[in-house]
Amino acid sequence: MLKAHYLNYRQVSFDANLIAKAQLLATQYRAAKQQVKKNDRDFAAAFNVILTNVEVYQAYDGWCLQIPTNNNLFSGKKKRSATQ
């Protein structure tokens, strides 16, 4: 049986070590990507959310972390309940 949690975009860490790792990952991501146009997205914040969810949902202990792409997953009319 697959043990999985959905990534929750509202979970952000204020831990200095995690913030530093998120900034490092964002810098490495931008350096590895050849961008044709300027991109103002805050990848450090995105990596912070991902790393925080890995810690919260114990992804190191055999749990999978599913990253949803539906913007209405946690809000809107078709909000998914916490049990799904």
pLDDT 10s digits, 1-58 = 567 777 777 889 999 999 999 999 999 988 887 777 777 778 898 899 888 888 887 7
**Domain membership flag for residue 83:** no
**Domain membership flag for residue 61:** yes
**Domain membership flag for residue 72:** no
**Domain membership flag for residue 9:** yes
Q: Residue 16 phi/psi, 5° resolution?
A: -60, -40
**Domain membership flag for residue 55:** yes
**Domain membership flag for residue 51:** yes
Q: How far apart are CA 67 and CA 39, in angstroms?
A: 21
Instruction: Look up the domain containing 47 and give its range.
Output: 4-32+40-66
CB 23 within 8 A of CB 43: no
pTM recorded for the entire structure: 0.67
**How confident is the model at residue 22, as a pLDDT?**
93
Collapsed DSSP state (helix, strand, coil) of residue 23 = helix
**Domain membership flag for residue 82:** no
* Number of domains making up the chain: 1
